[in-house]
A and B are shown apart, each in its own frame.
Chain A
């Protein structure tokens, strides 16, 4: 009979213990973060402006570096992987953050501003404000009425299609929900999958929810719902899911198994006719094909709300709570709000448009021009579900819930009840 040598057993046990404890570590790691010791020391005017950037992909990174170099200021850029930056922002801002950092408008910005982790820039806005529409100013304003954010670029969400497909089949741009459904039915009858969808990562389907909700219940209701001030069990919300359910049969099969890139490829290959997505769908098109890409605004559902809201996430910049070189950082923000910086950046990225209303649109592609008009004419600019609400709610509640809805669209009551129970937990925290 062979027995286990005790050392082996102990080693194994220790391994098991480590394995168990490893799950408990993350919480404590967070608790170990040290508070910022340099608080209150901000305001020195010398030294470089430090710049925390999430422009980690090669093309945007290079474009941003060129823009910052052209500012003539001494800027020290600290680039962090896009997702990592996003996931660690709470800890980053409580540690020793850079003076200026890249971030998103809307609730995402307001949250950090309300926690005292961002420096207000109302004085910067008093100089640059004339160049931005009210919708941009609202998107840059915290809950306390002060400004915390400088918008850089944005892109709209809409219903994208290929002109050649619509021309060949004689499809008309739908204005209302009924037109839209009629068109979807017609496309399906023609043997094509009417709507592309790729919701494996969970967020792309949010755009459709946002649009139906804003078209049906209006922008204000949508924003209040996102802020946890309305109930998800409200009949208005259930109706959103019911309307969405009406068009689900027109989606290509396999919604939750495909990434947005794969779904976009089906649009490129003319296997699907339309795709509700952001303008970044153009990244999946070759330069030659991109001229064939076009879009129409999400159709109207009620007369009252018409098509007055546009979903257009804005990327921009904020100041950390105690910038070491405040004067330099303010100067840099003013530069980045200007047309020169924005146009220089957009040369590298034809899927976005500038936020500054005085930007020269003559260099825009037809798609960009259309986007600028769409956004310029919008009464409200929403920021996308995961930017208009608490990130905890978006990622731990809405992503699983919308995926469940796409799998089992029939249990709307149960779904809304479950979302509301979780929303209550997160928003009353």
Chain B
């Protein structure tokens, strides 16, 4: 920083200096800066803040989407009804949380395990990498369709293998088990994704660290958890954020299977059911969307404070 004497705003000299400094930007510079800053800000406001605030506003209304019939403002009634008399709401919230826990505590660690194993240059590493990564290329809707081929009660391959023809398990129709069946399918895709991220992270770990740990007498497990894993922190952050996002935005897979009903309710599905489609309960659906927004913001704020605290430290 070269500009030091700014403490005395009364004296004209620094002010002139500052003005001179500003003049150093040519007009085209200013245009470029304005464009580069302005366009993203405008897009941000238009596409993110605008809709978000509109949703929050509409969540206090009752509106059927018809323009000749303006919204009625009903205060917190939508929220009250969602929490008290909308049967799918609490199951949906629970399913989103289960989704997050499953991805975070089962699928992600499994992806890490695969990455660690593949990082050790076992034979056919490339082949395994490809096999595990392949499902990531598929959209979740496709995963949903594939899941149905596996899980169909009457024609599914899982029941064919289990061979119980008299009383086959209704994987997709039984609301007690269908969520878990779907989570296995989702995990199949998520594991490959996590594996790839961790594999990339592991490749970047300096081999000398491991050697040093080995010389210090650490065994394999110790050297991984005490030395290698901490250096994966940047990857872990990305993985965490991706996992949270995946759990909150989960939608297409259950929508492809049974439109997210009967045990597969998710918050995103409830928003869609109420807003999109003929239902047009715009206010009500917006209120569910706001609940979802609050949950996402909760995660983001927690994450942000953590990162900032660490930076300060």
**A30 near B292 (CB under 8 angstroms)?**
no
Query: Within 8 Å of chain A (Cβ to Cβ): is B28?
Result: no
Q: Is B69 an interface residue (CB 8 A)?
A: yes
**Residue pair B289, A24 in contact (C-beta under 8 Å):** yes
A29 to B173, CA, bound (A): 34
Does the CB pair A23–B173 fall under 8 Å? Answer: no
Nearest opposing residue in chain A for B69, CB measure:
A115
B300 close to A2 (CB less than 8 A): no
Contact B48 A425 (CB under 8 A): no
Q: A384 vs B108: C-alpha distance in the bound complex, in angstroms?
A: 46
Q: Is B175 an interface residue (CB 8 A)?
A: yes
Interface residues on A, range: 35 or more
Indicate if B290 sits at the interface (CB-CB under 8 A).
Answer: yes
| Complex interface bits, B40-73 against A, C-beta within 8 A gives 1, otherwise 0 | 0000000110111011101000101111110010
Contact of A200 with B by CB under 8 A: yes
Please, how many residues of chain B have a CB less than 8 angstroms from a CB on the other chain? Answer: 79
Is B55 in contact with A392, judged by CB distance below 8 angstroms?
A: no
Per-residue contact bits, chain A 8-39, to B (CB 8 Å; 1 contact, 0 not):
11001101111111111111111101010000
CB distance from A119 to the nearest CB of B (A): 15
A197 CB to closest chain B CB, in angstroms? 10
Residues in B neighbouring A425, C-beta threshold 8 A: 81, 85, 284
B48 adjacent to A87 (CB under 8 Å): no
Please tell me if the beta carbons of B279 and A396 are within 8 angstroms of each other in the complex.
yes
A26 contacts B66, C-beta separation under 8 Å: no
Binds A, one of B113-121, B131-139, B233-241: B233-241
Interface string of A34-74 (1 = CB under 8 A from B): 01000000000000000000000000000000000000000
Interface stretch (choices A227-235, A368-376, A398-406)? A398-406
Quick one: closest B residue to A257, CB to CB? B173
Does the CB pair A23–B271 fall under 8 Å? Answer: yes
Cα–Cα distance between A66 and B262 once the two chains are bound (Å): 41
Q: Which of A4, A27, A89 contacts B285 (CB 8 A)?
A: A27
Distance in angstroms between the alpha carbons of A25 and B86 in the assembled complex: 22
CB distance from A21 to the nearest CB of B (A): 4
- Residue of A at shortest CB range from B300? A16
**Is B292's CB under 8 angstroms from A115's CB?**
no
Tell me whether A19 and B248 are in contact in the complex, defined as CB-CB below 8 angstroms, given that A262-B155, A395-B279 are known contacts: yes
Query: Does A258 belong to the interface (CB within 8 Å)?
Result: yes
Residues in A whose Cβ lies below 8 Å from that of B290: 24
Contacting residues, chain A, for B285 (C-beta < 8 A): 26-27
A186 CB within 8 Å of chain B:
no
| Bound complex: CA A403 to CA B281 (Å) | 21
Instruction: Tell me, in angstroms, the Cα distance from A1 to B310 when the chains sit together.
Output: 13
Q: Are B279 and A31 in touch, CB under 8 angstroms?
A: no
B13 CB-CB contact with A under 8 Å: no
Docked Cα-Cα span, A49 to B304, in Å, equals 58
Q: Is the CB of B154 within 8 A of A258?
A: yes
- Nearest B residue to A35 by beta-carbon distance? B67
| Chain A neighbourhood of B88, CB < 8 A | 400
> Once the chains bind, are A391 and B277 in contact (CB under 8 Å)?
yes
Query: Is A407 a contact partner of B277 (Cβ separation < 8 A)?
Result: no
**Cα of A221 to Cα of B48 in the assembled complex, Å:** 47
- Residues on A with C-beta less than 8 A from B68 are 115-116
In the complex, A418 has a CB within 8 A of chain B: yes
The CA of A131 and the CA of B272, in the complex, are separated in Å by 42
Residue of A nearest to B48 (CB): A21
Q: Is A421 part of the contact surface with B, judged by Cβ < 8 Å?
A: yes
The answer to whether the Cβ of A91 comes within 8 Å of any Cβ in the partner chain is yes
Given contacts A15-B241, A396-B273, contact A33 B85 (CB under 8 A): no
Q: How far is the CB of B60 from chain A (nearest CB, A)?
A: 12
- Is the beta-carbon distance between A31 and B58 smaller than 8 angstroms? yes
Please report the C-alpha to C-alpha distance between residue A254 and residue B292 in the assembled complex, in whole angstroms: 32
B51 proximity list for chain A (CB < 8 A): 21, 24-25, 27-29
Let me know if B268 and A23 touch, CB within 8 A: yes
Determine if B55 and A257 form an interchain contact, defined as CB atoms under 8 angstroms apart: no
Contact: B153 with A27, CB < 8 Å?
Answer: no
For residue B216, which residues in chain A have a CB less than 8 angstroms away from its CB?
none
**CB of A86 within 8 Å of the partner chain:** yes
Is A256 interfacial (CB-CB < 8 Å)? yes
Q: Complex: how many Å from CA A352 to CA B144?
A: 32
Q: Is the CB of B87 within 8 A of A418?
A: yes
B172 located at the interface, meaning its Cβ lies under 8 Å from any Cβ of chain A in the complex: yes
Instruction: Find the residue from A201, A255, A265, A396 having the highest chain B CB count within 10 A.
Output: A396
Q: Does B54 lie within 8 Å of A256, measured CB to CB?
A: no
How many angstroms between the C-alpha atoms of A202 and B62 in the bound complex? 26
Interface pair B67/A94, CB less than 8 Å apart: yes
Q: Are the CB atoms of B175 and A256 closer together than 8 Å?
A: yes
The 5 A-B residue pairs whose C-beta atoms are closest, nearest first, are A257-B173, A28-B51, A391-B278, A20-B296, A392-B279
Apart from A15-B245, A23-B292, A392-B278: 7 A-B pairs, beta carbons within 8 A: A28-B55, A35-B67, A90-B66, A202-B262, A256-B174, A262-B152, A391-B277
16 contacts between A and B (CB under 8 A): A20-B248, A23-B268, A27-B58, A27-B286, A28-B50, A33-B67, A91-B65, A256-B174, A256-B258, A257-B174, A258-B153, A392-B278, A396-B274, A400-B87, A400-B88, A429-B281
